[in-house]
Amino acid sequence: MSDFVVSARKYRPQTFDTVVGQHSITNTLKNAIKSGHLAQAFLFCGSRGVGKTTTARILAKTINCFNRTEQMEACDQCDSCQSFHTGNSLNIYELDAASNNSVDDIRHLIDQVRIAPQLGTHKVYIIDEVHMLSSSAFNAFLKTLEEPPKHAIFILATTEKHKIIPTILSRCQIFDFSRIRVKDIADHLAQIATKEGVSADPEALHQIAMKADGALRDALSIFDQIVTFAGNTLTYKDVLENLNILDYEYYFKVMDAAEKEDISTSLLILNDIYEKGFDGHQFVVGLGEHLRNLLVCKDARTSNLLEVPDTVRQRFSEQAKDIDSQRIMRALNILSKTDVDYKSSKNQRLLIEVALMQLCSLKQESEKKKD
Ligand SMILES: Nc1ncnc2c1ncn2[C@@H]1O[C@H](COP(=O)(O)OP(=O)(O)O)[C@@H](O)[C@H]1O
Ligand SMILES: [Mg+2]
Ligand SMILES: [Zn+2]
């Protein structure tokens, strides 16, 4: 049996250009390498799984490459690049400050820094979760950060920028990594699915991308998890089942019922949701998002704010056509009030049912006003 390698590791980008969604950062780094004006200390900030460590490793490999391409990418062939691939390069040193945060750990690193590289030109020190260093470790490190030897580059990474003291901030070039957009994640997953021989619904991948909340690593882990369960075809339904997500079909149906002023149907839909074991609050929040989506696709200028696959976009525009903005806004008010009251309510189901009845009466109300 072949060893299973998780996708997040198997598909770690090896070049600047394949890092998803961080182009301004990777371009700045490439330009700095090209012009020879690379800073010696960087601070990479951003949430988990957005490419900080990946970019740091690519930078280390690229500046040591003997045969860089015109586009300032590593050749992946030379001795130095090879040593990075096999994990044998002595020019990269990674310290996880979350678990090694004592003065001794930092002293050990500082001792290393003095030694010049044997192969290649630069040694790159990545200190992950740098905000976790103890204050004495920080102090021991400051001097080295202030006057590093020419061959040393420090990349400090953190998920909590606000915990970094000003003395460090002022010594580093700071890059803020963005959370990755849903569409970019979904596109990336589609490429990986193809490489893995998995045929996946665009809607399934989109749902995974939403769940990952901006972190590409999380998206890949979820993808692996569901493929293990579903095999080589990945459907929207597989994803819903695995992630315990409510099918957006329910929201479309509820709004159809509201349009027809059909209270009974709306209550039956809610019942169905409860019977499937979903939480009422999840439904309230989801319906609120649905309404928001209907509202943004009313105007061509905001329709780009709708982050859904093209097949679903069409359905939103169709449903939005029949309901005027005023009414959507009032529906949103009802939902947000339900959301606020939910926790303190003694009868949460009734609270949602009343909200649904109100939704189903909105049309009547607005027609009365017109008379
Ligand atoms: N921007 C990105 N582009 C492509 N893959 C990414 C990106 N960010 C994360 N990944 C995937 O997630 C894995 C972990 O990313 P990593 O760079 O270690 O995240 P961080 O250091 O920001 O927590 C990578 O191996 C890669 O598969
Ligand atoms: Mg990392
Ligand atoms: Zn090379």
Q: What is the per-residue pLDDT across 70-129, written as a single tens digit (0 to 9) for each?
A: 999 999 999 999 999 999 999 999 999 999 888 998 998 999 899 999 888 999 999 999
On whether residue 1 sits in a domain, the answer given is: no
* pLDDT value, residue 135: 85
Name the amino acid, one letter, at 329: M
Structure tokens at 312: 């679903």
Residue 247 and residue 66: Cα distance in Å, rounded? 52
Q: Do residues 42 and 169 share a domain? A: yes
315-342 pLDDT, tens digit each? 999 999 989 999 999 999 999 999 999 9
* pLDDT value, residue 363: 85
Q: How many domains does the chain have?
A: 3
- 55 to each of 18, 28, 43, 343, 358, how far by Cα in Å? 10, 12, 12, 43, 51
Q: Do residues 16 and 144 share a domain? A: yes
55 pLDDT higher than 80: yes
DSSP state of 367: H
Q: Do residues 132 and 57 share a domain? A: yes
Residue 14 and residue 81: Cα distance in Å, rounded? 10
Domain carrying residue 69:
7-176
CATH number of the structural domain spanning residue 270: 1.20.272.10
208-248 pLDDT, tens digit each? 999 999 999 999 999 999 999 999 999 999 999 999 899 99
Q: Tokens 């990269």 label which residue?
A: 92
Coil vs helix vs strand at 70? coil
What residues are neighbours of ligand 3 (ion), with CB under 5 Å? 65, 67, 74-75, 78, 81
Residue 302 and residue 327: Cα distance in Å, rounded? 18
> Of 190, 219, 243, which marks where a domain is finished?
243
Smallest Cα–Cα separation from 190: which of 180, 200, 175, 177?
200
CA of 264 to the centre of ligand 1 (A): 48
Nearest atom in ligand 1 to the alpha carbon of residue 54 is 17
pTM of the predicted protein model:
0.86
On whether residue 2 sits in a domain, the answer given is: no
Q: Do residues 121 and 194 share a domain? A: no
> Of 243, 267, 295, which marks where a domain is finished?
243
On whether residue 362 sits in a domain, the answer given is: yes
On whether residue 55 sits in a domain, the answer given is: yes
Q: Do residues 233 and 311 share a domain? A: no
Q: Do residues 217 and 300 share a domain? A: no
CATH number of the structural domain spanning residue 75: 3.40.50.300
On whether residue 14 sits in a domain, the answer given is: yes
Ligand 1 pocket test: which of 18, 53, 130, 216 has the largest number of ligand atoms within 8 Å of its C-beta? 216
1 pLDDT higher than 60: no
Which helix (H) or strand (E) segment is 318 a member of?
helix 310-322
Nearest atom in ligand 1 to the alpha carbon of residue 21 is 1
On whether residue 11 sits in a domain, the answer given is: yes
Q: Do residues 71 and 144 share a domain? A: yes
Q: Do residues 45 and 146 share a domain? A: yes
* pLDDT value, residue 165: 87
Tally of helices (H runs) and strands (E runs) in the chain: 17, 7
- Residues in contact with ligand 1 by the CB-under-6-Å rule are 8-9, 11-13, 19-22, 48-54, 180, 216-217, 220
Q: Do residues 77 and 198 share a domain? A: no
> Of 243, 275, 296, which marks where a domain is finished?
243
Q: Do residues 172 and 188 share a domain? A: no
Residue 233 and residue 237: Cα distance in Å, rounded? 11
CATH number of the structural domain spanning residue 222: 1.10.8.60
Q: Do residues 239 and 278 share a domain? A: no
Q: Do residues 209 and 284 share a domain? A: no
DSSP state of 179: P
